[in-house]
């Protein structure tokens, strides 16, 4: 594979994306430093890391939104992204936001189906500014889903939501994931969220994947599952945080 970003390439069986030797510098600061990562079909990955560790930078590279990276990013199929803020176009109604840029003959029917899946049919004709935070995030998920991505990139999509809405969104994302089975890369600050959702939790530090934990507990998971309790401590240590929450 030559240097650069490659879309629609063939990867080894069972892989949807591969990142090799990925380096990103901003001025004299190296944010990603020869990072390697492979993403398997249908797996759910959570990416943790201290603020400024480069999580969004990695996600942007995978999304093809950054052409100033060095190294290789290869993705086999379509990629969709949902961000922390829903980024809906305010002068288009919800349904038109979902179909925006989707140039397929059945765009309308696909948007109808995606909005139904996120339980937003009743708000299809609404203006984005009239949506609640949770509704806007669901519209953003519908917009991602309608593209039928093989890789779904989620950049802290729940962090601005209240705790109850966040729990509802966790259930929704797991349901959508189990139905459509895209690979998911979820950037989050929340160790509990990572453990409740993901098969594999990665910690980004010093520009590389510094730690990986596999989570085998069956879903739906509970915070007090012994496996999760143990991994919680492991991940806090990997993040350089003591269990009391102070940086070590």
Ligand X SMILES: Nc1ncnc2c1ncn2[C@@H]1O[C@H](COP(=O)(O)OP(=O)(O)OP(=O)(O)O)[C@@H](O)[C@H]1O
Nearest distance from C-beta of residue 56 to ligand X, angstroms: 3
Nearest distance from C-beta of residue 244 to ligand X, angstroms: 21
Tokens 């980004």 correspond to: 204
Q: Is 97 in the site for ligand X (CB under 6 A)?
A: no
Q: Is 76 in the site for ligand X (CB under 6 A)?
A: no
Q: Is 157 in the site for ligand X (CB under 6 A)?
A: no
The count of residues in the chain is 248
- Considering only residues 11, 35, 55, 151, which one is a binding residue for ligand X as defined by CB under 6 A? 55
- Considering only residues 35, 37, 56, 193, which one is a binding residue for ligand X as defined by CB under 6 A? 56
Nearest distance from C-beta of residue 94 to ligand X, angstroms: 27
Q: Is 51 in the site for ligand X (CB under 6 A)?
A: yes
State which of positions 18-47 bind ligand X (CB under 6 A).
26, 31
Q: Is 99 in the site for ligand X (CB under 6 A)?
A: no
Nearest distance from C-beta of residue 156 to ligand X, angstroms: 7
Q: Is 238 in the site for ligand X (CB under 6 A)?
A: no
Q: Which stretch binds ligand X (CB under 6 A): 15-23, 55-63, 111-119, 132-140?
A: 55-63
How far is the CA of 13 from the CAs of 38, 40, 155, 193, in angstroms?
12, 9, 27, 29
Q: Six-digit token pair at 247?
A: 């940086």
- Considering only residues 18, 22, 39, 49, which one is a binding residue for ligand X as defined by CB under 6 A? 49
Count Cβ atoms below 10 Å from residue 3 Cβ, excluding itself. 12
Q: Residue 83 — left, alpha, or beta (φ > 0 → left; ψ -120 to 50 → alpha)? A: beta
- Of 102, 100, 104, which Cα lies nearest the Cα of 89? 100
Cβ-based burial of 236 (10 A; exposed 0-12, middle 13-18, buried ≥19): middle
Q: Is 91 in the site for ligand X (CB under 6 A)?
A: no
Q: Which positions lie near ligand X, rule CB under 6 A?
A: 26, 31, 49, 51-57
């Amino acid at each position: 594979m030559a240097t650069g970003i490659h879309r629609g390439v063939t990867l080894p069986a069972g892989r949807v994306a591969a990142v090799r030797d990925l380096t990103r510098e901003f001025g004299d600061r190296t944010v990603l430093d020869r990072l390697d990562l492979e993403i398997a079909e249908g797996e759910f990955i959570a990416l943790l890391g201290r603020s400024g560790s480069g999580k969004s930078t990695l996600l942007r590279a995978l999304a093809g939104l950054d052409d100033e990276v060095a190294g290789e990013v290869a993705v086999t199929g379509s990629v969709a992204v949902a961000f922390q803020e829903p980024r809906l176009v305010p002068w288009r109604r919800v349904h038109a936001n979902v179909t925006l840029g989707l140039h397929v003959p059945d765009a309308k029917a696909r948007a109808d189906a995606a909005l139904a899946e996120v339980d937003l049919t009743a708000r299809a004709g609404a203006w984005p500014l009239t949506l609640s935070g949770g509704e806007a995030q669901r519209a953003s998920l519908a917009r991602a889903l309608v593209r039928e991505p093989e890789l779904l990139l989620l950049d802290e999509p729940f962090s601005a939501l209240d705790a109850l809405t966040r729990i509802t969104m966790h259930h929704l994302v797991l349901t959508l994931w189990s139905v459509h089975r895209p690979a998911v890369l979820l950037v989050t600050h929340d160790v509990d969220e990572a453990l409740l959702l993901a098969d594999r939790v990665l910690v980004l530090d010093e520009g590389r994947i510094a730690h990986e934990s596999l989570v085998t507990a069956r879903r739906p998971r509970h915070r007090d599952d012994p496996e999760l309790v143990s991994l919680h401590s492991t991940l806090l240590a990997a993040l350089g945080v003591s269990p009391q929450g102070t940086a070590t």
